[in-house]
Each structure stands twice: as structure tokens, then as C-alpha cells.
């Protein structure tokens, strides 16, 4: 949750955001590339562990039907919040000229799908997950226009970053197509069985599974034949060749991308399983109220960006829309808009630190009050 905020603050504040992508090897720097790359771990871990937590809920006293209902209702709630509170927090504009469907939207629909898929036998669900994650790149050559009037459906399912025209003035931008995110969440649900194992076996399996996925990424990426629509290539400098190797595709997440992120994350889980975490650990606060933190961080960072724009330009009218990183739909930003990476990092630290007491207050409120509506926040 903390790392995720860095990416969004960079979207709003970095001077290069409206001119080039951090993954553009012809213009990026190593630090900027890794500032973006480290945040790639966020979405896969969110989705994967949402599936794992659903399994744990189903295995700790709740009936399967109760967990299914919770997944269905919470998933639909997330979809609504994505298109209202989150979208407004990111734009401060009620015109909704561009409706963005991103990670919360994908998590919501993946929960809806899992509310039905969870009734499959475990082995069948695991097979479904592996097939969707492992083979979905075979669908890459299929283009939306091949479906004629149903092109929009294929864009929702598997083609990211292509606008869906709703009307002359309104478009939908699907940043997170549902394939393979549904498979990632159902894989996380299957993965939940690992936490039923006794401690030593669980830790060993976490390390072995994570290492195997990471090794699979390296081997598949070296072959450069399948697994990502963006092949790596030798560059003029060794470090840039390494960046090309790591520059995997996220929209939708390729097989290479998911292996690259989930493999090391599961290894990290194996290490963290050995760490005793005290109740006063500040990271627990953000982990206890992740959705609340996610929603309010958009408003805080956008307000900070408005204040910085006013201090620099004496106006902030251009800030009422998409951040400058969303091209070509962001317009009106001054050509010299933006700040260096050191400023981005300082603002990131300040915002996360400022959100800590708010999240601590809300976590305490949830602990005292078991109201159902609080569980949706």
C-alpha cells in the first residue's frame, strides 16, 4: 500500500510524466525506471492475496455460501467505488469525460467471478487459474475490431489502454482488463491452502514456490519466444539491457509480468513468515485499513498537487482532470510542469506519514465497532 502511493504521486508530480513513460528506454533513467518497476509488484499482490484472504475466510468458521455472498456484494461495491469516489479523487472533475477502470475495478469483478468459481473442486479451480495465467498471451493477436459491435467486450476482457467510445464526449479507458486478473485471484484462493500446513512445511513451500516462479520468469524471458508482447533486446549499455529484460507488459499483465512479480513476492512471504510483528508496527495500520487508505490517498495527493501548482503558477485549473501521465487525454498542463524525482520522493514520504494517524484512527474505530458497513471500508 505504501509503495503504491509512490506510483500515483509520480503520475501527478514528476516532470517527465506528460512527456514519456518511465519504461521508455530511450528517455528514462535507471532510478526513474526502478521507481516505476518496484510499484509493479502492488497490483498482482493485491489481487493474489485478495483470493488468499477469501480462502482463509471460508476456512475459519464461515460457510461457503456466506463467503460467496460477501465476495459478490463486496466486489460490486468496489466496482461502484472505483467509478465514483476513486475516479473523482483522481480527477476532481464531475464531467466524467474519461471513465477509468483500473485496479479496484478489476479486483471487484474478480471477486464477483470468484464468488461463483469458489464452488469448483480445488483441482479444477487450480487448473482454471494456471491455464488463464499461462496461456492468455495466446490471445494477444486477437483484436477488438474482429468482434464488430462486440469489440467493447473484448476490450474489457483482454485489451488494455484502448478507449471505448460511450458518446461523443465520453469514453471508458480500461486499464485493467479482466483476463488474466480473474485467474490471478482464483490462483490466490487456491494458494490459501498453503497456510493450512504446519509451520516448517508452509515456510519451505513458500520459498520453493516463489523460487520456482522466479526461475520460470528468468528462463521464459531469456527465451524471448512467449510470455510477453514486449520482447527484450540488447541495448547500448549493460544496465539498459537489464532494464529491457525487466520491462514486461502490464496492460493486461503478461505471463512474464506475473511470474516476475508474484515469484519474488511469495519468496518474501516465506521470509516474512519468520518475522514476529508487534502490534505497534506502523505497517500493520495500513494493512488493517487498505481500502480506506487507498481511497483517501487519491484525495490527499491531488490536493497536495493543487497546492504545489498554485504555489508555482498561481493557478491550478489544469489539475481538474486526469494526471499528466495519462496521455494523450491529459491537456492543459504547462510544458514545464512537474518536479524532479527527489521532490516526488519527499512528497511521497510526507503524504504517507500524514495518512498514518488518520488510518490509525480508522483502524481503532473498526476494532471497536463491528458494524457491517465498516467492513466495506
Mean pLDDT of 66-85: 95
Record the pTM.
0.95
- 167 Ramachandran zone, left/alpha/beta (phi>0; psi -120 to 50): beta
pLDDT for 63? 86
Mean pLDDT of 74-101: 94
- Domain coordinates in residue numbering, the chain: 2-196+276-375
- 332 Ramachandran zone, left/alpha/beta (phi>0; psi -120 to 50): left
DSSP state of 82: I
Which tens digits make up the pLDDT trace of 226-269?
A: 999 999 999 999 999 999 999 999 999 999 999 999 999 999 99
Which tens digits make up the pLDDT trace of 156-200?
A: 999 988 899 998 889 999 999 999 999 999 999 999 999 999 999
Cα–Cα distances in Å, from 278 out to 188, 203, 275, 285, 363?
Answer: 26, 20, 10, 11, 16
Average pLDDT value for the chain: 94
Q: How big, in percent rounded to 5, are the helix, strand and coil portions of the chain?
A: 65, 5, 30
Q: Rounded distance, CA 85 to CA 89, Å?
A: 6
Residue 14 β-bridge partners: 339
Q: Rounded distance, CA 221 to CA 255, Å?
A: 10
pLDDT for 282? 87
Amino acid at each position: 500500500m505504501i509503495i503504491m502511493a509512490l506510483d500515483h504521486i509520480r503520475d501527478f508530480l514528476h516532470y517527465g510524466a506528460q512527456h514519456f513513460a518511465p519504461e521508455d528506454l530511450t528517455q528514462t533513467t535507471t532510478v526513474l525506471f526502478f521507481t516505476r518497476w518496484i510499484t509493479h509488484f502492488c497490483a498482482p499482490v493485491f489481487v493474489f492475496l485478495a483470493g488468499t484472504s477469501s480462502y482463509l475466510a471460508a476456512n475459519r468458521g464461515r460457510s461457503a455460501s456466506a463467503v460467496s455472498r460477501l465476495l459478490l456484494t463486496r466486489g460490486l461495491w468496489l466496482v461502484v467505488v472505483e467509478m465514483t469516489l476513486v475516479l473523482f479523487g483522481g480527477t476532481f472533475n464531475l464531467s466524467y469525460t474519461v471513465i477509468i477502470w483500473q485496479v479496484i475495478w478489476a479486483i471487484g469483478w474478480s471477486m464477483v467471478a470468484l464468488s461463483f468459481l469458489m464452488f469448483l473442486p480445488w483441482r479444477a479451480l487450480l487448473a482454471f487459474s494456471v491455464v488463464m495465467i499461462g496461456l492468455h498471451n495466446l490471445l494477444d493477436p486477437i483484436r477488438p475490431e474482429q468482434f464488430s459491435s462486440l469489440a467493447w467486450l473484448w476490450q474489457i476482457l483482454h485489451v488494455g489502454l484502448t478507449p471505448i467510445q460511450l458518446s461523443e464526449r465520453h469514453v471508458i479507458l480500461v486499464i485493467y482488463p479482466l483476463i488474466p486478473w480473474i485467474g490471478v485471484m482464483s490462483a490466490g484462493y487456491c494458494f490459501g491452502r498453503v497456510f493450512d500446513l504446519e509451520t516448517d512445511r508452509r515456510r519451505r513451500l513458500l520459498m520453493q514456490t516463489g523460487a520456482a516462479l522466479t526461475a520460470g520468469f528468468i528462463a521464459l524471458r531469456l527465451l524471448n519466444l512467449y510470455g510477453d508482447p514486449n520482447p527484450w533486446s540488447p541495448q547500448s549499455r549493460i544496465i539498459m539491457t537489464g532494464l529491457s529484460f525487466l520491462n514486461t507488459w502490464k496492460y493486461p499483465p503478461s505471463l512474464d509480468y506475473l511470474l516476475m512479480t508474484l515469484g519474488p513476492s511469495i519468496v518474501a512471504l516465506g521470509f516474512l513468515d519468520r518475522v514476529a510483528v508487534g502490534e505497534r508496527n506502523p505497517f500493520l495500520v495500513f494493512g488493517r485499513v487498505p481500502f480506506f487508505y487507498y481511497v483517501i490517498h487519491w484525495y490527499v495527493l491531488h490536493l497536495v498537487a493543487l497546492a504545489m501548482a498554485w504555489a508555482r503558477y498561481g493557478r491550478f485549473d489544469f489539475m481538474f482532470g486526469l494526471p499528466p501521465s495519462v496521455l494523450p487525454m491529459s491537456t492543459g498542463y504547462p510544458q514545464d510542469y512537474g518536479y524532479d524525482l527527489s521532490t516526488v520522493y519527499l512528497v511521497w514520504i510526507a503524504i504517507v506519514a500524514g495518512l498514518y494517524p488518520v488510518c490509525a484512527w480508522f483502524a481503532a474505530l473498526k476494532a471497536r465497532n463491528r458494524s457491517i458497513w465498516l467492513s466495506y471500508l
